[in-house]
Structures are given as structure tokens and as C-alpha cells.
């Protein structure tokens, strides 16, 4: 166990020959944790020229053991790297390597910028290493071959992760390179177990000819692979590789194939060169050249609001998240959800055949369940989620002469507030002659008459102006329509947000129009006591 937010430096590699778990200490305080998840990871950094770890007991006779890195940042020597045999900028692995909730950065090598995974399978698993990476950021790694990972055989599984800003330099180079294929008789088992390949991950801004060479036995499922130089290289002559439910567009080259390839590529958003061997039941969707991919002026940053086009919002990391993503959008121009190129275009079912291999992952990159409609789910790493169950009361406490400002972005969630133009298409003109606001906003008073006016912008920012210096509360429900709800049944089009605005006189001013409840005055001692309470504040870790 290593300490939170600490940096540990190494001048030379550490050799690991026994099972071990290296993890950052958990927060043992009962106080509130501040910062995004994994912002407190300890960092292990190479200040010399070597790799960080060499995981190998030197034996192919003994059973392999597991080494785990959990909640740890691994940072290599970068351009200073001089790796033994050039293999593995951060880690050389010949055992069972598991990495969770971590960052892999600045690994440079000849083979395997971050990781070199050694060994070929014979009749047992003792002779080959394996790599499993979950919920991790893989960034700024570089190699001639295997810019991120070089594996002697395709024995790796990357899921719920972000792969960005890495580079491979060889002419036939791939970020994830599998040097040798499985023996013919072994591939079927890997394919049905779906433990080899890439899933639920965002892959962008990488350089080099290919992201991965796809061999028999591998499954690529629910990835968002956009804005890279290279794409996928298909090399599965047995037809026992599957690529499904993914977004594979917007790269300089999206796909290339070997002359003997039979990879099954189905139920994806693709361009023509990736459209291979799909079944009639699960065709690929061809990406129109006229369709805008990103709703914004850059690949990262703020999303344009409806009615702007763009299938995806720019890459963004929410304040409460470790990893960012490209969020899919339901566009204003759609008249039905079936017009979307991404939403509900994946399949949740599996029937044990090659069709079933295209079933979506049960959760998305964020770990949110892909609930879907019937058997449908969304293409790519992110599933659009509507959450009506956890909507808390919003609003603000203000003093006389103030206005309240608050935000409902948490309620809007994966959707966006529909534009006023869409509101008019849905409901016609307002009966009061006013123009629609974003989200077709309506107010329904619940416990009190209206005591102010409310306005909303496209980002979900609300401004409440009280109609005088009243003392008390304005309690109402705010109703809004989002891009993820507008095609629902009429009863479910609106999201309902409870709102409470409380207005009080400035401190120290007595409002004689408001009863204290008991009819008497408030004692000075009680007032002082209240000020004492206000001075107290809860410390946060």
C-alpha cells in the first residue's frame, strides 16, 4: 500500500517474481472526499532510463501468478528511456498483469511503449503472460511497434478505458500489436468468452498506421475510435474475430485488411472500407460524408447546443469523473429516433451464434448499465442514460434584493435541452403568446402561488427574479424536455425538477410581517448562538 497523492521515484527497474498488489491507500476518513475519482492516486515515476517493473519469475514450469496495480499512476522515463532489449517502456510482463483505475503515461520503448507482454501459449497458460486493463487512462506512450502494448500473442483485454495521444512509428505499426496468432484450435474459446480485445473504450488523437491488428480470437466491441491517424487492421483468416457496436469513423484511415481476412464486422458506424462480412440481421451503418461528427469547433471542450448538428459532443471529462468521453447526441433535425446513426443501433441479445457475438457490453465506459429499449443499445463507448429516480430539489436561498441562480445540468444528464424551435414543432405556439425557452420550460406551482419569474438558457442555467421583498418560499416544479426524452410517450416527454426558492430579509433586519411561530421576540442569546453555528464549518479531506 502506497500513500495517497505521493510520488515515488525509481532510478532502476524493480523485478517482481511473486504475486503482489500495489495500490494507493484508501481514504480512511469519514469526511467528504474532494476531487474527481482517482485524483488522489499515488505516482510511481522513473527518473532513470529504465522501465518501472519487470514481472517474470524466469520459469515456464511453475504456474503463472498475478500482479495488480490499483489506483496508481505509472510514469515512464519518456524520451530518456533506454529499455533492456527495448521491450516495455513501463512494464515487461511474463505473468498475469491486472491494472485498474490507473494512469499509464510516458512509456517509450522499441516494442511496447507502455507494456511488453511476453510468451506464447503452448499446451498450458504457464508459458504466456496476459494483460487486463480496466478503467484506466493510457496516454503519451510511444514505440516503433506496439505504441501502447506489444504482445507476443493476442492475450490482452482493455475495457472501460481511454487511449489517447500515443504513437507508433513502424510502417506496419499498431498501438496494440499481437505478434503471433493463436493456434487454430484455440481461437473459438476466446471468441465466445470475449476476454481478448478492446471494449467500452474511447480511442482518439493517436498517431501511427493502426490502432490494433485484429487476429482470430479477438473481440472489439462498443469502442469509440475517432480522430486518429490510423484505424483497425483486420487479419483473421478463420473468421473468428468480431468487431461490433462501435464507432469507427473520422480517422485518416479507418480500416485496412489482409488478403486472407474474414473478420466479422457488423452493427457498427463505418465507412465503406470497414464494411465487411456483416450478417443480414446486423448490417453496418454507413457514415454519410455530409454528416457532422463533432458538435463544436474542436475535438475537446464545450458542446454546441441544439439545434447544432454533430453526432458526438467534443471529448469532455465531467467534474465527478476520472475519464472523459465523446457523448452521443440526439439531433434536433430528427423527426424520429430511428433516424439516429448511433442511438438504439446496437444489440443487447446473444444467441450463441456469430450474430450473438454482436451483443452490446452490459455496461458502458462509465459503468452505467446499458438498459436500452427492448434489445437495443447505443453504438460506441457511451450509452445515453435517462435517470428520473434521483432528481433532488434544486434552488437557492437568497436575501431581499437578490436574484437566485442555479443549474439543472445534473438533471439533463446525457441529454441536452431541446431548442425553442423544436418546442414549437412539438407543441405549437404557446397559448400565452410568449416565446418558448430552451427545454420547452414549464412551471407548475405546488405549495405556493408564484412569487417570481424564471428564465433558462441552453446550458440549463436558471435565473429566478422574485417579484418583491416577500419573506418565505416559492415552491414549484420545473418541467423540461431534453433530447433524450422528446421521443418518449407523451406522458414521459417532460422531466420534473422540484424547485424551492427561499427569500429572507438581510441579517439583523427584523421582518414584523412574519410570525416567529410562538408570537414572541427572538432572544439576543439565541441570535448569538446562531452566529456561532454559522461560524462552524465541516472540514473536508
- At 372, is the pLDDT very low, low, confident or very high (cuts 50, 70, 90)? low
Is the pLDDT assigned to residue 527 strictly greater than 60?
Answer: no
pLDDT tens readout for residues 305-350: 999 999 999 999 999 999 999 999 999 999 999 999 999 998 765 5
Per-residue pLDDT at 120: 87
- At 182, is the pLDDT very low, low, confident or very high (cuts 50, 70, 90)? confident
Sign of the dihedral defined by the CA atoms of residues 349, 354, 358, 361, in that order: positive
Whole-angstrom distance, CA of residue 198 vs CA of residue 201: 7
Output the nine-digit C-alpha cell for 61: 514450469
Q: E-assigned strands of 94-196?
A: 96-100, 103-105, 108-111, 115-117, 130-134, 137-139, 142-145, 149-151, 156-159, 162-164, 167-168, 174-178
Is the pLDDT assigned to residue 366 strictly greater than 50?
Answer: yes
Lowest mean pLDDT among 231-240, 367-376, 517-526: 517-526
Is the pLDDT assigned to residue 237 strictly greater than 60?
Answer: yes
pLDDT tens readout for residues 387-435: 888 899 999 999 999 999 999 999 999 999 999 999 999 999 999 999 9
- 394-504: CATH superfamily: Immunoglobulins (2.60.40.10)
Q: Yes or no: say if 443 and 451 are a contact pair by the CB < 8 Å rule.
A: no
**What CA–CA distances, in Å, run from 390 to 98, 488, 493?**
34, 19, 17
Per-residue pLDDT at 513: 44
Whole-angstrom distance, CA of residue 540 vs CA of residue 307: 41
Q: From the CA atom positions of the chain, what is the Rg in Å?
A: 28
In the block, cell 501459449 appears at: 121
Write down the pTM of the prediction: 0.90
Per-residue pLDDT at 197: 97
Q: Yes or no: say if 213 and 178 are a contact pair by the CB < 8 Å rule.
A: yes
Per-residue pLDDT at 260: 97
Output the nine-digit C-alpha cell for 112: 511496447
The gap from C-alpha 349 to its chain's centroid, in whole angstroms, comes to: 23
Residues for the chain: how many in total? 541
Backbone φ, ψ for residue 456 (5° rounding): -140, 145
Per-residue pLDDT at 411: 95
Per-residue pLDDT at 166: 99
pLDDT tens readout for residues 93-144: 999 999 999 999 999 999 999 999 999 887 556 678 999 999 999 999 999 9
pLDDT tens readout for residues 269-309: 999 999 999 988 899 999 999 999 999 899 999 999 999 99
Per-residue pLDDT at 528: 31
Amino acid at each position: 500500500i502506497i500513500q495517497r497523492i505521493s510520488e515515488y521515484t525509481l532510478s532502476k527497474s524493480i523485478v517482481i517474481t511473486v504475486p503482489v498488489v500495489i495500490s494507493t491507500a484508501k481514504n480512511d476518513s469519514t469526511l467528504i472526499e474532494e476531487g474527481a475519482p482517482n485524483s488522489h492516486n499515488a505516482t510511481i515515476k522513473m527518473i532513470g532510463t529504465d522501465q518501472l517493473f519487470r514481472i517474470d519469475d524466469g520459469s515456464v514450469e511453475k504456474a503463472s501468478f498475478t500482479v495488480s496495480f490499483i489506483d496508481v499512476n505509472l510514469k515512464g522515463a519518456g524520451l530518456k528511456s533506454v529499455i533492456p532489449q527495448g521491450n516495455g517502456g513501463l512494464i515487461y510482463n511474463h505473468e498475469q498483469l491486472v491494472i485498474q483505475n490507473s494512469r499509464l503515461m510516458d512509456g517509450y520503448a522499441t516494442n511496447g511503449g507502455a507494456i511488453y507482454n511476453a510468451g506464447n501459449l503452448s499446451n498450458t497458460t504457464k508459458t504466456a503472460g496476459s494483460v487486463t486493463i480496466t478503467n484506466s487512462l493510457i496516454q503519451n506512450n510511444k514505440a516503433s511497434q506496439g505504441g501502447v502494448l506489444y504482445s507476443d500473442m493476442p492475450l490482452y483485454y482493455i475495457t472501460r478505458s481511454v487511449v489517447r495521444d500515443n504513437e507508433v512509428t513502424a510502417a506496419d505499426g499498431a498501438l496494440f500489436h499481437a505478434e503471433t496468432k493463436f493456434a487454430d484450435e484455440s481461437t473459438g474459446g476466446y471468441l465466445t468468452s470475449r476476454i481478448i480485445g478492446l471494449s467500452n473504450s474511447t480511442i482518439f488523437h493517436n498517431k501511427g498506421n493502426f490502432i490494433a491488428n485484429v487476429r482470430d480470437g479477438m473481440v472489439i466491441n462498443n469502442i469509440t475510435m475517432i480522430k486518429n491517424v490510423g484505424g483497425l487492421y483486420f487479419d483473421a483468416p478463420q473468421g473468428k474475430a468480431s468487431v461490433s457496436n462501435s464507432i469507427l469513423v473520422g480517422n485518416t484511415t479507418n480500416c485496412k485488411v489482409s488478403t486472407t481476412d474474414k473478420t466479422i464486422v457488423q452493427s457498427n458506424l463505418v465507412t465503406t472500407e470497414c464494411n465487411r462480412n456483416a450478417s443480414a440481421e446486423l448490417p453496418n451503418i454507413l457514415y454519410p460524408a455530409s454528416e457532422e461528427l463533432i458538435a463544436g469547433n474542436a475535438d475537446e471542450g464545450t458542446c454546441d447546443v441544439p439545434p447544432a448538428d454533430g453526432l458526438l459532443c467534443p471529448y469532455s471529462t465531467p467534474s465527478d469523473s476520472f475519464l472523459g468521453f465523446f457523448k452521443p447526441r440526439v439531433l434536433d433535425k430528427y423527426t424520429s429516433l430511428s433516424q439516429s446513426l448511433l442511438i438504439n443501433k446496437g444489440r443487447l441479445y446473444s444467441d450463441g451464434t456469430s450474430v450473438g457475438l454482436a451483443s452490446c457490453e452490459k455496461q458502458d465506459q462509465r459503468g452505467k448499465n446499458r438498459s436500452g429499449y427492448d434489445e437495443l443499445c447505443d453504438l460506441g463507448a457511451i450509452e445515453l442514460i435517462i435517470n428520473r429516480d434521483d432528481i433532488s430539489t434544486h434552488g437557492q436561498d437568497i436575501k431581499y434584493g437578490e436574484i437566485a441562480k442555479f443549474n439543472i445540468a445534473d438533471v439533463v444528464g446525457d441529454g441536452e435541452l431541446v431548442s425553442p424551435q423544436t418546442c414549437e414543432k412539438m407543441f405549437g405556439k404557446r397559448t400565452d403568446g410568449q416565446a418558448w425557452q430552451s427545454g420547452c420550460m414549464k412551471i407548475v406551482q405546488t405549495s405556493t402561488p408564484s412569487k417570481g419569474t424564471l428564465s433558462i438558457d441552453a446550458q440549463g442555467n436558471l435565473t429566478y427574479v422574485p417579484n418583491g421583498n416577500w419573506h418565505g418560499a416559492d415552491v414549484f416544479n420545473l418541467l423540461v424536455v431534453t433530447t433524450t426524452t422528446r421521443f418518449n410517450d407523451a406522458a414521459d416527454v417532460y422531466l420534473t425538477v422540484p424547485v424551492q426558492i427561499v427569500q429572507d430579509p438581510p441579517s439583523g433586519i427584523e421582518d414584523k410581517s412574519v410570525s416567529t411561530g410562538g408570537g414572541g421576540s427572538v432572544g439576543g442569546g439565541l441570535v448569538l448562538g446562531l452566529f456561532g453555528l454559522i461560524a462552524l464549518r465541516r472540514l473536508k479531506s
